[in-house]
Amino acid sequence: MDNIAGTRSGLVWAVNISAALLVILWLLPTLGLFISSFRDRDQIASSGWWKAGSAAEQSVGVRATPPDTAVQADGVFVIEGTVWDEGQGGTVSAFGTSAQNPAAFAAGEAAKTGEGYDLTVNADGSYRLASQAAFEGTRGERFFVTTSTPPRLTIENYGRVLQAEGIGRSFLNTLTVTIPATIIPILVAAFAAYALAWMEFPGRALLVAVVVGLLVVPLQLSLIPLLRLHNDIGIGKSYLGIWLAHTGFGLPLAIYLLRNYMVGLPREIIESARVDGATDFQIFLKIILPLSFPALASFAIFQFLWTWNDLLVALVFLGNSEDQLVMTGRLSGLMGSRGGDWEILATAAFISIAVPLVVFFAMQKYLVRGLLAGSVK
């Protein structure tokens, strides 16, 4: 019964469910990173991104103002203040005098501290510390409060990251590297793929075999020789050098992909154009390129994503100076210097993946068509 027309086998449903699970597994971290980029440090530390729409509760230690700020009224020494720092706010639901039980008393109740002082913390965060005798010591009394902070989303993280942390400059540097490093290999590979697909000349099969062989050569083997060559001809540690490096590393895949696609185009169209007197360049420009757009877009996605996310080639051929550092290099530096500032890391990471996401979703409909190039005759 599984082979009857109109029915679906269990394998089809398994594939669909697996694909849906993969999409969810990929989407959830991205969504969490996006939401976290709009939260401040306290919210990230107190709750997960899935609770961004609800109030965040946390227990924190508070130190009252020093004893020398006490005011005597009616024979009682009083210290008053608030648990909130400047610019903060929220609600205090409970408080305590020890870390073992930070929510021993409800907001508004009176409690005795270990030193015998009378402590009251109100729901709005104000507190009152009273004593019949003068307060001793130089440090304020320490107590604990359980706070409830309303949800708050802010774009301050983006302003801080783009300006103070240098991500804006690195973003422009990455665009300067990625766009030419994507366009140049496409232009070169398109001409080479057309020649290998439709032009007859001695050694064509050998060149195709060499291209296929270059696909499996690790780029790490050529980093040092290529860098020495760049230094010898004066283009080391420059944008021109890294453009040429990315072009060389991307050409084997580009030529292989475009050649497989072009060789599958209808021969009758090309032969008819030659009969009408069209030259190879005219055929390439007016027939081959428009018909090969899916394969061009497919390679553009791969090359753009690989170049944008690259760190090794950028460090070798461009360097890590402040005015040339790319996004990946900047993020690696933030991991060392801002390892505890999760709001900064989340914002910087989302800025880094925003452009690749836009490029992928804008051109993904051509991806499968380009990858299947030449597989069906």
Task: State the pLDDT at residue 72.
Answer: 84
Task: State the pLDDT at residue 116.
Answer: 83
Q: Could you report the average pLDDT of every consecutive run of 10 residues in the chain (377 residues)?
A: 54 85 87 87 78 76 86 85 78 84 86 85 88 82 83 83 82 93 94 90 88 86 89 90 92 90 87 88 89 87 91 88 86 72 84 86 70 49
Closest C-alpha to 212, from 247, 166, 260, 178 = 260
Task: State the pLDDT at residue 103.
Answer: 83
Contact by Cβ (8 Å): 47, 130: no
Question: Which own/partner contact pairs does 100-106 have at CB distance under 8 Å and 24+ positions apart?
Answer: 102/59, 102/144, 102/145, 102/146, 103/59, 103/146
Distance set, CA 193 to CA 167, 288, 292, 294 (Å): 38, 10, 11, 14
Whether pTM exceeds 0.75: no
Contact by Cβ (8 Å): 135, 70: yes
Task: State the pLDDT at residue 1.
Answer: 45
Task: State the pLDDT at residue 343.
Answer: 81
Closest C-alpha to 57, from 129, 138, 146, 125 = 146
Written as six digits, the tokens of 107 are 């907001």
Task: State the pLDDT at residue 137.
Answer: 77
Task: State the pLDDT at residue 255.
Answer: 92
Between CA 50 and CA 68 the distance in angstroms is: 44
Task: State the pLDDT at residue 190.
Answer: 93
Which conformational region is residue 88 in: left (phi greater than 0), alpha (psi within -120 to 50 degrees), or beta? Answer: beta
Going along the chain from its start, the domains and CATH numbers come out as 10-51 (no CATH), 56-149 (no CATH), 158-371 (1.10.3720.10)
Phi, psi angle pair for 54, to nearest 5°:
-115, 160
Task: State the pLDDT at residue 365.
Answer: 72
